[in-house]
Structure 1
């Protein structure tokens, strides 16, 4: 995590071990043991960048965080520090944007070449965040040459935190490596995420 705020009056953020990008859990809690890794964060409001690389899929989050003034963790889903540590301070999840995809692929995880192909992207947050922001923009880019060049794909809102896009596929021989995707989203809190799939799917 990167921040320019001096390390005065610090608090703990606990990160659960990453088995996949979707398993990322950040919360304003103290404590850490086993597979948990604790990071010190300043109590003062600051902007952070967090990066994860899981099986070649790179995700970069930028978000704002400050010291919680009150707890925001239901009893059924307590903060990690409450479970494995001795945390007694106010605790809440960090407002990281996660993305869920419906790529509309066939049973062989491919899509037809030479046609316009629709995809759906849904943004969501950790369930313990009781008043999450809402996504207000999403940009889709596609690559057919392994990431050397990227093309912006038209996208539009299709419901709360939901966007659709239509990707014009080239002929199969012009996308030998398949289709790569780069998705960028911003929410009403100014938090962002960019997720890059070098190869999201192949063409048939």
Structure 2
């Protein structure tokens, strides 16, 4: 048991005696195999639970290889069919996530562009005065880029909240291990800021071209 617990990825190890295995068999199938065979053919075993981050086929097979090398181990079995189903749904999950992410990014870009454009229109007279005074396009862009930055941060926070809900559901309801909050925080916030600034740049650039 101690040797099994030392293997990276193993979360817990439970010993199942021949008697316990027999009791479980009789409970599930309703038959007393001792009456049929005259003895208990079931073997004592260890039931191993892996950490959630190791619920992938490659990692499970690696752990199986390490267990087989231990002395006294006759055989190692695991639910390959169940793991295959989990991996299949993970691929579907990520495919849907990428598609939704692309759609949300496109919509966010349009919304930010329109929001900043409305702000530009409301300050059009001020912008005209700034241009008459010799303000450069870069100087005029600056406050709107800052606004886009904060809009991007706000959008990133909303997206992060939605992703955390999905991650929580995947872990607690489906027992799936996907990226944790620390891994996705920088990515989501970074893209939110990029989209915010890009949307603002697009809006102010289009306005300045129309005014030339």
User: Greater strand share, 1 or 2?
Assistant: 1
Under a length normalisation based on structure 1, what TM-score does the superposition of the two structures give? 0.29
User: Greater helix share, 1 or 2?
Assistant: 2
